[in-house]
């Protein structure tokens, strides 16, 4: 079954599409795809575009000729957008800086200083599981709310982590509604020290918690919860709002995969999840597909011809070329069979293929080439 063709230019030119989320397993060219989409949106379609990467790898900065990326959008110089009037900016999520910005924006300066000094906050804002994904939601919400960008392209981490990106609002709500947190909030709201109240009211439980966490950590946690208490409702509200934006037709999810079994399996897994969550799945990008211009010469005939030339012994170069052709054709056929594992399961999902390149993409010219192949 042949999947419908993914119209990349139609997607990038559509003013109703404000967010493109690129998802996929590691090592499939997802970051390069996101950057190429951003470049083409700016150069060809005149859109003011920002590419946000959540992946801490440096590939995005290198390919755009930037020495570094941080939490602030940086304009990419040297793009050919004179006629279109577009712009291209890029940034990399700094989860701690984003968390700090949220605190500064939604608390008084003295309370913000108290939060920043809390050891539990310092650990949570830098290393706790799930913080990166939630802060990605916060940053996406900030970019979208500012209305500064025509198009936001999000380069997510490898797909299971990208699923965490989708799960962040629900996981945050479960955390905020959890029994343990409510118990910690109660004394903070009551104006007494959490440690003394828990010790007085919960007896054996408090001693067990102290034994596991330690009295100092428990005190730090109490202070953290008390300081953030007024912000919790805002966390949930903003996360839920961003989640609804991701479900809106203004968002387009693009799956990126290589023609390898694990990558196709991951893409199918993610597609199932997007469908279940009513997220707008716009298409699949098959990267690094191998092709041959002489597809009319079957692999078996090419190998047989090479053997005849070997027997004649006078055209070794031609024999080698025929064998290379046969190997390339067999690889192409194998990749098509592997990719069919996705297209047969999701026959309505539009697909586009990008031919394998002789070298890695490392500059704007390379991104421009990939963008043209995508389109």
- pLDDT single digits (tens) 154-175: 998 765 666 777 777 677 666 6
Contact between residue 42 and residue 71 where contact means Cβ atoms under 8 Å apart: no
> Is residue 140 in a domain?
yes
Same domain assignment for residues 76 and 151: yes
* Whole-number Å distance between alpha carbons of 19 and 158: 19
pLDDT for residue 311: 77
β-sheet bridge partners, residue 52: 91, 154
- 273 shares a domain with 288: yes
Measured distance CA(309)–CA(315) in Å, rounded: 6
In 3D space, the residue among 19, 35, 14 whose CA is nearest the CA of residue 256 turns out to be: 35
- First and final C-alpha spacing in the chain: 22
What's the CA gap between 168 and 142, in Å, rounded?
Answer: 16
Is 187 within a domain? no
Query: Does residue 85 lie in a domain region?
Result: yes
The CA distance from 319 to 85, in Å, is 52
Q: What is the mean pLDDT of the chain?
A: 81
pLDDT band for 370, please (50, 70, 90 cuts). Answer: very high
Same-domain pairing of 330 and 346: no
- Residues 134, 166 share a domain: yes
pLDDT of residue 6: 97
How many folded domains does the chain comprise?
Answer: 2
Same domain? For 257 and 318 the reply is no
> What distance in Å separates the CA atoms of residue 292 and residue 301, rounded to the nearest whole number?
15
Position 19 scores a pLDDT of 97
In a domain, 78, yes or no: yes
The percent of residues above 90 in pLDDT, for the chain, comes to 35
Q: What residue numbers bound the domain in which 152 lies?
A: 8-179+246-293+339-374
Residue 67 located in a structural domain? yes
Asked if residue 136 and residue 99 are part of one domain, the reply reads: yes
Judgement on whether residues 348 and 315 belong to the same structural domain of the protein: no
pLDDT tens-digit series, residues 267-297:
999 999 999 989 999 999 999 998 766 556 7
CATH number of 49's domain: 3.40.50.300
Closest residue by Cα to residue 49 from 93, 8, 79, 94: 79
Instruction: Provide the pLDDT confidence category of residue 322 given band limits of 50, 70 and 90.
Output: confident
Mean pLDDT of 56-60: 66
Same structural domain, 307 and 285:
no
Per-residue model confidence (pLDDT) at position 202: 43
pLDDT score of 57: 64
Predicted confidence (pLDDT) at residue 197 exceeds the cutoff of 50: no
Residue 349 falls inside a structural domain: yes
Is 326 in the same domain as 344? Answer: no
Predicted local confidence at residue 116, as pLDDT = 87
For residues 82 and 100, state if they share a domain: yes
pLDDT of 210 over the 70 cut? no
286 with 314, same domain: the answer is no
Q: Which of 19-28, 202-211, 286-295 has the least mean pLDDT? A: 202-211
Nearest to 28 by CA among 276, 240, 339, 298: 339
Mean pLDDT, range 173-184, rounded to an integer:
59
Least confident of 12-16, 17-21, 195-199, 267-271: 195-199
How confident is residue 315, by pLDDT bands cut at 50, 70 and 90?
confident
* Residue 240 resides in a domain: no
- Considering the domain boundaries, does residue 263 fall inside one? yes
75-131: pLDDT as tens digits: 998 888 888 899 999 998 888 888 898 888 888 888 888 888 888 788 777 776 667
| 345 and 316 both lie in a single domain | no
């Amino acid at each position: 079954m042949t999947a419908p063709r993914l119209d990349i230019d139609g997607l990038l030119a559509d003013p109703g599409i404000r967010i493109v989320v690129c998802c996929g397993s590691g090592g499939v060219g997802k970051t390069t795809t996101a950057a190429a989409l951003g470049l083409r949106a700016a150069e060809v379609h005149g859109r003011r575009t920002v590419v946000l990467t959540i992946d801490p790898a440096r590939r995005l900065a290198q390919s755009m000729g930037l020495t570094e990326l941080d939490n602030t959008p940086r304009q990419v110089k040297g793009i050919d957008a004179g006629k279109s009037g577009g712009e291209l900016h890029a940034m990399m999520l700094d989860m701690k800086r984003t968390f700090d910005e949220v605190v500064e924006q939604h608390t008084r300066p003295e309370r913000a200083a108290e939060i920043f000094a809390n050891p539990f906050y310092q650990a949570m804002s830098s290393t706790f599981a799930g913080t990166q994904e939630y802060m990605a939601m916060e940053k996406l919400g900030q970019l979208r709310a500012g209305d500064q960008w025509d198009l936001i392209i999000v380069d997510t981490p490898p797909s299971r982590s990208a699923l965490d990106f989708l799960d962040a609002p629900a996981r945050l709500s479960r955390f905020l509604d959890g029994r343990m947190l409510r118990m910690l909030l109660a004394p903070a709201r009551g104006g007494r020290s959490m440690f003394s109240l828990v010790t007085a009211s919960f007896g054996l439980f408090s001693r067990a918690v102290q034994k596991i966490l330690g009295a100092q950590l428990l005190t730090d946690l109490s202070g953290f919860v008390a300081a953030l208490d007024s912000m919790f409702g805002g966390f949930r509200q903003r996360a839920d709002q961003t989640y609804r934006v991701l479900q809106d037709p203004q968002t387009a999810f693009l799956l990126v995969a290589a023609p390898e079994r694990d990558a196709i399996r991951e893409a199918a897994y993610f597609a199932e999840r997007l469908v279940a969550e009513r997220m707008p799945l716009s298409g699949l990008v098959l990267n690094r597909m191998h092709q041959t211009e002489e597809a009319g010469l079957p692999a078996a005939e090419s190998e047989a011809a090479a053997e005849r030339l070997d027997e004649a012994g006078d055209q070794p170069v031609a024999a080698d070329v025929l064998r290379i052709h046969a190997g390339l054709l067999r690889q192409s056929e194998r990749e098509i069979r592997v990719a069919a594992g996705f297209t047969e399961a999701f026959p309505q999902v539009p697909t586009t293929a990008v031919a394998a390149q002789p070298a890695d993409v490392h500059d704007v010219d390379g991104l421009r080439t990939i963008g043209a192949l995508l389109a």
